[in-house]
Amino acid sequence: MKSANQTGQNTPGTFNLATLALELAMITTISSSQDPRLDPLRLNERQLTTIAQRRSTIAAGRFIAEGDLVVARALASGYKPEVVLCDVEQAERFDLEIEKLGGQCLTADIEIRRQATGLGVPLSALGVFYRPEPLTVNQVISKASRVVVVEAVDNPSNIGAIVRCAVGLGWDGLICDSTSADPLSRRGLRVSMGSAFNLRFARTSDIVETLKTLQAQNFKVFALTPDSGSVDIDQIKIDPMQKRVVIFGSERTGLSQQALACADACVKIAMNPNVDSLNVAAAAAISCYALR
């Protein structure tokens, strides 16, 4: 027969260790899915921040971190939480850090978390965080030597995969034009596994001006394009000390002619001639490795 502590049931003269831990940590336990403290978690991305806010250079709104890994990386990077809803285990893990950063840690049973978040399989941690003060292009450039630039890459999954490739392969800056997806989008963060928190990024409303600014700071710009006149990427030789930029465009139309005209070199990935292009995330992985 199981003891009271093994079953999680309290009987006279016994206590529940998990409950005691929550009480000592001052973690708030939610008993109703309609509790107003859960309201931020019920909002979708359009309610947390508008498309205009996400794509502007002005910080506004909030973002969602899904899963304990993404929440942990957001907290480790100093992002300020508003509220984080966890199971008991993750609440015990995150509470002190959430409180230190000015947020509120909540815990609830699986059914309440399912109802509050609308997720069929509730995550062990789900948080709403405030967006940080945005960086300018010059702020990103000043501390980077390998920068990824994206133009019209509007799929959040692709942005997330590009971010993950960039961080994993040692690139240290990202610049998105105003039509590209948000690195802090819910899906983008999920795909990047929170890597966006470790990659300095900025928005630009003028891709040509940005590329010229990079060149003025001694960056060499490589534009990825399948055009027949481009050079195979495996033929590119770069001085290890050379600062560099690789720029990717939309999967459907590729880079704009204005962006291509700014490049120091147009490069391509050798591939089956019967296939017109690779997915941009796959191209980013190959390019970030080849030009690293």
CB atoms within 10 A of CB 58: 10
Instruction: Give the pairing type, strands 125-130 and 146-150.
Output: unpaired
| 103 and 191 together in one domain | no
- Pair 66, 184 in one domain: no
Single residue among 108, 130, 152 that ends a domain in this structure: 130
Q: What is the pLDDT of residues 174-228, one digit of tens each?
A: 999 999 999 999 999 999 999 999 999 999 999 999 999 999 999 999 999 988 8
Do residues 123 and 147 both lie within one domain?
Answer: no
Q: How many percent of the chain have pLDDT more than 70? A: 86
* Whether 93 and 172 share a structural domain: no
Q: Are residues 87 and 184 in the same domain?
A: no
Residue-wise burial string across 144-161, b where 16 or more C-beta atoms lie within 10 A, e elsewhere: bbbbbbbbbbbbbbbbbb
The CATH number linked to 269 is 3.40.1280.10
The residue behind tokens 């690789």 is 246
Q: What is the pLDDT of residue 174?
A: 98
Q: Quick one: 216 and 239 in the same domain? A: yes
Residue 116 and residue 149 in one domain: no
Closest listed residue to residue 284, CA positions, set 197, 190, 187, 155: 155
Q: What percent of the chain has pLDDT over 90?
A: 73
Are residues 243 and 291 in contact, defined by beta-carbon separation less than 8 angstroms?
no
Q: Domain of 242? A: 137-290
**Consecutive H or E run containing 69:** helix 67-76
pLDDT confidence tier of residue 277, bands split at 50, 70 and 90 = confident
The reply to whether 286 and 172 lie within a common domain is: yes
Evaluate the CA torsion angle 163, 169, 170, 175 in order and state its sign.
negative
Residues 277 and 142 in one domain: yes
Report pLDDT for 180.
95
Q: How many structural domains is the chain composed of?
A: 2
Which of the pair, 14 or 272, is modelled with greater confidence? 272
Same structural domain for residues 97 and 153? no
H or E element that contains 290? helix 280-290
Band of pLDDT at residue 11, cut at 50, 70 and 90: very low
Whichever domain contains 97, its CATH number is: 3.30.1330.30
Domain boundary among 101, 130, 159: 130
Q: What is the reported pTM?
A: 0.85
Write the pLDDT tens digit of every residue in 37-57. Answer: 999 988 777 667 666 665 655
> Looking at residue 268, what DSSP letter applies?
E
Distant-in-sequence, close-in-space partners of 150: CB < 8 Å, separation ≥ 6: 159, 162, 174, 175, 176, 177, 180, 247, 248, 249
Same domain, 152 and 280: yes
Which neighbouring-strand residues pair with 147? 173, 245
- Residue 58 to residues 210, 230, 260, 275, Cα–Cα distance (Å): 17, 36, 28, 40
Mean confidence (pLDDT) of the chain: 88
Residue partners of 217: CB distance under 8 A and separation at least 6: 141, 243
Whether 114 and 70 share a structural domain: yes
Question: Which of 104, 130, 156 lies at the terminal end of a domain, its last residue?
Answer: 130
Q: How confident is the model at residue 60, as a pLDDT? A: 60
Per-residue confidence (pLDDT) for residue 100, from 0 to 100: 94
